[in-house]
Amino acid sequence: MGGGEKAIEKQVAMGKKTARERIMSILDEDSFHEYDLFVEHTARDFDMDKKVLHGDGVIIGTGTIYNQPVCIYAQDFTVAGGSLGLMHARKITKIMDHALKMRVPLIGINDSGGARIQEGVNSLAGYGEIFYRNTKASGVIPQISVILGPCAGGAVYSPALTDFVFVVENISKMFITGPSVIKTVLGEEISMEELGGARVHSEITGNAHFYAESEDECFDQIKSLISYIPWNNTQKARKFPPQEPTSSLNIEEIVPSDPHRPYDIRDIIRSITDSSDFFEIMENFARNIVIGFGRLKGDTVGFVANQPKYLAGVLDCDSSDKAARFIRYCDAFNIPIVTLEDMPGYLPGVDQEHAGVIRHGAKLLYAYSEATVPKITVILRKAYGGGYIAMNSRHLGADFVFAWPTAEIAVMGPEGAANIVFRKEISEAENPDEVRKQKIEEYKEKFANPYVAAAKGYIDEVIEPAETRSLLIHSLTLSDNKVDTRPAKKHGIPPF
Amino acid sequence: MEESTPKYQTFVVNSAKYKTLYTTKFEMRKKWERPNPNEIRSYIPGTILKLMVKPGQEVKEGECLLILEAMKMENKIEMPFDGKVKEIHVEEGVKIPKDVIMVTVE
């Protein structure tokens, strides 16, 4: 089987499962049908015609997960290092075309040494064909990449084009140029794990969406994800029997009365979702914003929420990127979006400005404005300035905007605003600190509440925290048949 | 990865002080320093192939100061304005990393 006994032993010694084992673990039992088992490579240079490569290093086929069909491919590291040659690529593109035609999800298990140098440009041609199909299928069928080995050079662009990337500690490695090339050309020494290991991509680069400590944990995550998302862009996600939240925390008590103290927004999410289940995505990247899937009365809902526990929940380059892509995913696959807002503004700093927080922040605005799925916003606490607009305000097309009584919707926080608006009074006063304190209180009384915005109809209702879940469910039922169009165009030009 | 009682830091946004945790990226960010126009720094790691000027030499804007070999290309490092070479900090054949002062001018 595969590349032979010795190769399989090496694979196991590295802590990795074989390609076939992986496929069997993900799919329902006995559901896998393999295609192209007997495909042979066509390379003739470098003595390749004397070599037999079983299945040319990749296993493709179809199966079911939770009794629904999926297409799957798994690169086999035991056969020629899983390197990609022309026929290897053709097998992958065959199953990709199949998945797109049949409108079923595509799961790709990457475990490859890269392009097969012996096949030269044919390998590159193979990669190109795969990337083209990744893009064609993007937004039509869910595409999932599982990195269970090295994925280097050009190969790593395929996962980058797919919707969700799964990585496993110590097993996944993703980079464009490896450590040896970096050392030779640039003289920088770094290990494979430090350069592009699972942690690097989950925490720093944002290339990975899910992090697991073992392959088995990864497969469980994949199955969970599949249960939340629809099979293709014309369907809605599977409806589950509705459940009440089981969280022991009382939603009224999670948010501290002092607006400067933090809390974990996930506690709030868990007190409103079915069974208090929250499937978080990109947990370790841009922790100042939280995204993920939950269910409300059995239907999948996408959550975007500021996280006051990290960096006070500010918006910045990374969090805008993280949220914007997720919003576009939900929009493409008919998943309503619930936004929970509690943020004091954008992260200040030269490094942010020079990194292009303008451009990245604009992505978030674009994503929300463009989305036509039902969009519901609940303002929990702070909603200041540009961030108030960016977090799915009425003005960007939110269908329902609710606010808790603790909401503060203002251009700026009381401290900042008082310093600017009453600057003259404070500087001319005999006791500036006293006057400043007084002015801050005045501003707080007048503006740090939801009623100013409510008076203009910018928010629909001021609600009690305990009513949140039922109101969200009510709003979602209302928006079941929502129709919203955009002007006819090929596509917009988001600030990439 | 939940700590039972996390140690919150004070974080100021628009004059308001918030108690929160920092992210690793935020803690490791580089503080901005105004670049000194007199320092000619390497923008890419490479090898000093050839020095074209000597200390004290008068150089016009655009003239080549040295050749830095990087990414299989011979990169000409040019003089940014009319001036004089104050000091050369590197030697021919030496491999240097990024952001190293190669030449100071005035």
Q: Nearest chain A residue to B6 by CA: give it.
A: A309
User: Helices (DSSP H) in A290-411: which residue ranges?
Assistant: 317-332, 350-354, 357-370, 385-390
- pLDDT at position B15 is 78
Out of B1, B22, B30, name the one closest to residue A311 (CB). B22
Distance CA A13, CA A6 (A): 10
Q: Report if residue A493 sits inside a domain.
A: no
- pLDDT at position A10 is 84
Residue pair A108/A158 in contact by the 8 Å Cβ criterion: yes
Distance CA B20, CA A262 (A): 6
The verdict on A221 and A271 lying in the same domain is no
Q: Cβ–Cβ of A349/B29 closer than 8 Å? A: yes
Distance CA A352, CA A311 (A): 14
- pLDDT at position A336 is 96
The verdict on A320 and A403 lying in the same domain is yes
Residue pair A376/A475 in contact by the 8 Å Cβ criterion: yes
Residue pair A308/A284 in contact by the 8 Å Cβ criterion: no
Which is higher by pLDDT, B13 or A292?
A: A292
Q: Cβ–Cβ of A415/B14 closer than 8 Å? A: yes
Query: What is the separation of C-alpha B39 from the centre of its chain, rounded to a whole number of angstroms?
Result: 9
Out of B18, B26, B45, name the one closest to residue A260 (CB). B18
Which is higher by pLDDT, A70 or A257?
A: A70
Cβ-proximal residues to B49 (8 Å cutoff; 6+ apart), any chain? B66, B67, B68, B69, B74, B92
Window 65-104 of A: residues touching B by CB (8 A cutoff) are none
User: Helices (DSSP H) in A103-152: which residue ranges?
Assistant: 121-137
Question: What are the domain boundaries of chain B?
Answer: 39-105
Distance CA A168, CA A155 (A): 18
Of A206, A208, A205, A233, nearest to A218 by C-alpha is A208
- Measure in Å the smallest separation between the Cα of A285 and chain B Cα atoms: 9
The verdict on A171 and A214 lying in the same domain is yes
Tell me: ipTM over 0.90. Answer: no
Above 80 in pLDDT, residue A50? no
Q: Report if residue A191 sits inside a domain.
A: yes
Q: How large a percentage of chain A has pLDDT more than 70?
A: 100
Whichever domain contains A373, its CATH number is 3.90.226.10
- pLDDT at position A479 is 93
Token code pair at residue A172: 């996944």
Q: At what angle do helices A215-228 and A19-26 cross, to 10 degrees?
A: 40
Above 60 in pLDDT, residue A451? yes
For the residues B48-62, what does the mean pLDDT come to?
Answer: 89
What's the mean per-residue pLDDT of chain A? 91
H-helix or E-strand spanning residue A64: strand A58-65
pLDDT band at A1; cut points 50, 70, 90: low
The verdict on A112 and A256 lying in the same domain is no
Residues of B at the A interface, defined by Cβ within 8 angstroms: 1, 6, 8, 11, 13-26, 29-30, 32, 44-46, 70-71, 95, 97-98
Out of B17, B21, B98, name the one closest to residue A310 (CB). B21
Residue A313 touches partner B, C-beta closer than 8 Å: yes
- The model's pLDDT over A359-373, given as tens digits with 9 standing for 90+, comes to 999 999 999 999 999
Q: Cβ–Cβ contacts within 10 Å for residue A492, how many?
A: 10
Residue A433 touches partner B, C-beta closer than 8 Å: no
Distance CA B96, CA A368 (A): 46
Above 80 in pLDDT, residue B5? no
Above 60 in pLDDT, residue A487? yes
Residue pair A179/A195 in contact by the 8 Å Cβ criterion: yes
DSSP classification of residue A102: H
pLDDT band at B2; cut points 50, 70, 90: very low
- Looking at the structure of chain A, the number of domains it has is 2
Above 70 in pLDDT, residue A449? yes
Helix/strand/coil percent split, chain B, to 5: 5, 45, 50
Above 90 in pLDDT, residue A472? yes
| Domain of A172, in residue numbers | 5-228
The verdict on A290 and A212 lying in the same domain is no
The verdict on A389 and A287 lying in the same domain is yes
Q: Report if residue A184 sits inside a domain.
A: yes
Out of A228-242, A435-449, A474-488, B2-16, which region has the weakest mean confidence (pLDDT)? B2-16
Above 90 in pLDDT, residue B71? no
Q: At CA A377, angle to CA A139 and CA A409, rounded to 5?
A: 135
The verdict on A15 and A48 lying in the same domain is yes
- The model's pLDDT over A225-240, given as tens digits with 9 standing for 90+, comes to 999 999 999 999 999 9
pLDDT band at B102; cut points 50, 70, 90: confident
- Chain A hits for B30, Cβ within 8 Å: 351
- The model's pLDDT over A315-325, given as tens digits with 9 standing for 90+, comes to 999 999 999 99
Out of A309, A345, A351, name the one closest to residue B32 (CB). A351
For the residues A7-13, what does the mean pLDDT come to?
Answer: 85
- The model's pLDDT over A411-446, given as tens digits with 9 standing for 90+, comes to 888 888 888 888 888 888 888 888 888 888 888 888
The verdict on A295 and A379 lying in the same domain is yes
Residue pair A48/A85 in contact by the 8 Å Cβ criterion: no
Residue A257 touches partner B, C-beta closer than 8 Å: no
The verdict on A179 and A310 lying in the same domain is no
Distance CA B59, CA B62 (A): 9
Q: What is the CATH number of domain B39-105?
A: 2.40.50.100
Out of B16, B24, B71, name the one closest to residue A260 (CB). B16
Token code pair at residue A346: 């954008």
Residue pair A314/A288 in contact by the 8 Å Cβ criterion: yes
Q: Which of A255, A316, A415, A439 to mutate to test the interface with B (most CBs of B within 10 A)?
A: A415
Residue A415 touches partner B, C-beta closer than 8 Å: yes
Q: Cβ–Cβ of B17/A260 closer than 8 Å? A: yes
The verdict on A206 and A257 lying in the same domain is no
Out of B19, B45, B97, name the one closest to residue A260 (CB). B19
Out of A176-185, A324-333, A450-459, which region has the weakest mean confidence (pLDDT)? A176-185
Computed over its alpha carbons, how large is the radius of gyration of chain B?
Answer: 21
Of B77, B80, B82, nearest to B102 by C-alpha is B77
Distance CA A234, CA A231 (A): 8
For the residues B58-77, what does the mean pLDDT come to?
Answer: 88
Q: Report if residue A432 sits inside a domain.
A: no
Out of A183-192, A378-387, A484-493, B37-46, which region has the weakest mean confidence (pLDDT)? A183-192
Q: Report if residue A132 sits inside a domain.
A: yes
Q: Nearest chain B residue to A348 by CA: give it.
A: B13
The verdict on A175 and A272 lying in the same domain is no
Q: Which of B26, B27, B34, B90 to mutate to test the interface with A (most CBs of A within 10 A)?
A: B26
User: Helices (DSSP H) in chain B: which residue ranges?
Assistant: 24-27
Residue pair A264/A249 in contact by the 8 Å Cβ criterion: no
Out of A94-108, A178-192, A403-417, which region has the weakest mean confidence (pLDDT)? A178-192
